Every structure is written in structure tokens, then in C-alpha cells.
Amino acid sequence: MASRFQEVKGDYSMAGSRKNDAPGNIRAGQSVIGHRGNVLSDELAERSAPKSVAVFLSRTDGKVLAVSRPDDAFDMNMPGGGIEPGESPIEAAKRELWEETGLFAFNLVEIYNDGTTVAFRATDASGKVRSSEEGLAKWVDLETLMQGKYSPFLRKVLQRISL
């Protein structure tokens, strides 16, 4: 694997009359190990990368796909979960939808991203809904879904789509 660091030689000292007083300055001819990118930006990007996904899927009769919490069969939410290392948000959304409901999504459209969670709308899916160890999967009316623990998040997602 190629290193993102390289040895750099040169005068990296501050300009101006106080450069000799500034601690930590690098003087001409000194070697330093420098990063090709912006270290702070890289760290912020890692910290702000989405950690979870959710999938919104509705039928023509207005019912939406929901999955209960494992410890509460009445607390319904959209299918979803964590993004695994090396997995893109869309890959995670497809995997979570399959694991929790037994449905395969062929077309997912990103509809919401707050930096922590990415929500997708599945516009085409196939399979037969089944429950899993994650919870009870079933079609419910939107009002039932809105009574769940994550209804504030769902409201934000619904603002981005037209039903």
C-alpha cells in the first residue's frame, strides 16, 4: 500500500520579523514528513461520514414498509441500520433492506442525508416480506410509522418526498 506521506525539504518558516521567535517553525534545509492532503479535512471527513442508513418503501395503497424494534413489536421504523467498514451507504441500504425484510431493492434514490444517516427511497423492489431477528417486518399505514421512536427523523425524510 502506498504511503500518503512523503519527505519534503525546503524553507517552511513563517515570513516576517518574528519567525525566529515562533516555536515549532521548520528552518531551511530541515527534512519533514508532510501529508499530501489536509490532515484536518481528512479527519473531519472520517468523523462526518454517515454511520447508518434507512430505506423508505411505499405501496400504491399508501402502506409503507416498517420493521419493529426487536424489544418492542409496536415501535415501528423504516428498515435500516449501520454501515459496515468498506461499504457504501447504498450498499448498506440494500443489505439492510434484505436482512430485515427479505426484499431486494433494484433502484434506491437518496432522499435525505444529515451527515450521520442517509435515507433512500426504494422505487423498485422484489421479494416477499418476511420478519427477521431484527424485528417484525410488515406493511403499515403512515400514521403507525409516525408513532415510533424515530418519528422526528421520519418527518425530516418525508419532507423530502411526495407521497
Q: What is the pLDDT of residues 20-33, one digit of tens each?
A: 444 444 445 544 44
Query: Are 112 and 38 contained in the same domain?
Result: no
Query: Are 61 and 137 contained in the same domain?
Result: yes
Q: What is the pLDDT of residues 142-157, one digit of tens each?
A: 999 999 999 999 999 9
CA 92 to CA 119: how far, in whole Å? 11
Domain annotation covers residue 163 = no
Query: Are 57 and 69 contained in the same domain?
Result: yes
Q: Are 141 and 62 in contact (CB under 8 A)?
A: yes
Domain annotation covers residue 13 = yes
Q: How many domains does the chain fold into?
A: 2
* Domain coverage including residue 31: 5-46
Which residue in the block uniquely carries the three cell numbers 454511520?
51
Domain annotation covers residue 115 = yes
Query: Are 24 and 87 contained in the same domain?
Result: no
CA 72 to CA 126: how far, in whole Å? 27
Query: Are 54 and 18 contained in the same domain?
Result: no
What SS3 class is residue 161? coil
Domain annotation covers residue 107 = yes
Domain annotation covers residue 12 = yes
Banded model confidence at residue 6, pLDDT cuts 50, 70, 90: very low
Give pLDDT, residue 77: 95
Query: Are 139 and 64 contained in the same domain?
Result: yes
Prediction pTM value: 0.70
φ and ψ at 145, to 5 degrees? Answer: -65, -35
Q: What is the pLDDT of residues 103-141, one digit of tens each?
A: 999 899 999 999 999 999 999 899 999 999 989 999 999
Query: Are 105 and 146 contained in the same domain?
Result: yes
Domain annotation covers residue 55 = yes
